[in-house]
Each structure stands twice: as C-alpha cells, then as structure tokens.
Amino acid sequence: MRKLAAGNWKMNGGRAALDEVAALCAAHPAPECEMLLCPPATLIAQMAWAARGKALKIGGQDCHPAVSGAHTGDISAPMLKDAGAAYVIVGHSERRTDHGETDALVRAKAGAAIAAGLIAIVCIGETEAERDAGATLAVIGAQLDGSLPEGATAATLVLAYEPVWAIGTGRTPTIAEIAEVHGFLRARLTERIGAEAAGVRLLYGGSVKPSNAAEIFAVSDVDGALVGGASLKAVDFGAIVAALAA
C-alpha cells in the first residue's frame, strides 16, 4: 500500500498560489508516499499542468453524480478527469453541512467518480455532540455503509475519517481514539468488501500539522492524512509528507 498525503485547499488560493506547488515539488521530488493537492476547481487544470512529470497528483473537492446536463455551477467527474485530476473528495463534512449532502448523494458521487476513472476519497466523521453521546462508532459505521459505492476496491476508494469537531479547530482526538476508529473502519470495510479492504487507504483528517503528524501516522491503520489549513503552504505540507514517508 502506498500511503497518501492529501491536501484540501477548500475555497482558498488563486494563480499566485501555484508558487506553492512549484516549491512543494522541488522540495519533494520523489517522496516515499503519494502526494495529492485538491485545489479549488478554478486551479485544477493549471495545477495539473504545473505538476506534470512531478510526483504530485491533483484532485477535485467535489463532483456532481451526473456526467453532464443542466446543473448550473456544478462540475462532473469526467470534467475533473479531463482537467487533469486523478482523485476527488466526496462527502466532506463542509459539503454535508453547507449543502445538505446525504450519504446516498455521497455514494452516488463516489460511484460517478470511480466510473470516470477517478479515485474517490469518501469522508465520514462524527460531530462533537455525537462523540459526547458515545455514538461515534455507530455514526461513522452508518455513514460508511450509506456512502460506500458499489464495487469499490483498494484501487478506487480512499476513506477519510474526519471528526467534524477537529476540522480547522486545532483540536484532535487522542491517539487511542484515532486507533479505535481506524481499527473499526478496517473491520467494517472488510465486512463490506472482503479482502480488498486491507488495501484501502484510511486517512485521518482534522487539524493535522507538522507538529502532530508523526504521532498520528504511527497509529496502526492510519495510512495517511487529509489536510486542510496546513496544506496551503508548501513548507507545512512538505513536512507532513516527510513525516508520512519516514
């Protein structure tokens, strides 16, 4: 399994930010892990061009479940592929919250991504109230079951565990809590897709930064990270890449 350091730029960055891509690629020309940036849609084609021949993959942050049609403002999975993307994030908690995305819609998006030849990064995670109520495993188990696309394999699916309360807050679960959830996800995935589950990369996401990356990556069944804020600067994201590759 090739571990994955994935950066989610969210709604940040313009053309000037492509300097960060050049710096990242120059500092990490051949990392011992996969390196991915998911910029805003406006930058995908340019970033893919900047990353050509380099050890950096590019991804989208969302896609529509349909291939084309009357969906103003949306972007389909084949369009992302055409622009140079290799991955797409689906079901990020900000999409689920801001746009009311359900597990069924996330599942349809993930299926569309895979059908277009993209790798789908499916995000799941509990809210703080759900964790406080002791419902974490029940919530993420149900999200996994509801969001898992038909026929997913280790080559087409990445699963990102992102506790909602840890995203952009500087707070993280304890190492034991991350280990509990990732172990649970591996077992649940095995129930669903059998032996393929062993090769599916399970990312942790939520306030990963250079200072905590190494201890999170030491947890078993953590196969990489989905990184928001700390992916915007090449020096920070590069340090996370280096921690994963170590």
Contacts with ligand PEP, residue ranges (CB under 6 A):
8, 162, 167-168, 205-208, 226-230
Shortest CB 191 distance to ligand PEP, Å: 26
For ligand PEP, the closer CB: 148 or 167:
167
Q: How far is CA 131 from CA 72, 107, 128, 137, 182, in A?
A: 37, 24, 5, 9, 15
Written in H, E and C, the secondary structure of 137-158 is HHHHHHHHHHHCCCCCCCCCEE
From the list 92, 94, 101, 126, the catalytic residue is 92
DSSP characters for 69-90? Answer: SS-TT--BHHHHHHHT-SEEEE
Distance CA 180, CA 221 (A): 10
Which is nearest to 91 in space by CA: 192, 203, 217, 194? Answer: 203
Annotated catalytic, 162?
A: yes
Minimum distance of ligand PEP from residue 105's CB (angstroms) = 18
Q: Closest separation between CB of residue 221 and ligand PEP, Å?
A: 18
The residue among 76 and 165 lying less far from ligand PEP, judged by its C-beta, is: 165
User: Is residue 126 annotated as a catalytic residue, yes or no?
Assistant: no
Q: Which helix (H) or strand (E) holds 245?
A: helix 234-245
Q: CA-CA distance, 86 to 48, in Å (whole number)?
A: 9
User: In terms of CB distance, is 84 or 205 closer to ligand PEP?
Assistant: 205
Euclidean distance between the first and final Cα of the chain, in Å?
15
Choose between 6 and 193: whose C-beta lies nearer to ligand PEP.
6
Q: Which residue is nearest to ligand PEP (CB)?
A: 228
Other CB atoms within a 10 A radius of the CB of residue 61 amount to 24
CB of 168 to ligand PEP, least distance (A): 4
Angle at CA of residue 166, ends 163 and 168, nearest 5°: 130
- Report in angstroms how near the CB of residue 174 gets to ligand PEP at its nearest: 16
Residue among 64, 101, 162, 182 flagged as catalytic: 162
Nearer to ligand PEP, 111 or 163 (CB): 163
Query: Active-site residue numbers?
Result: 92, 162
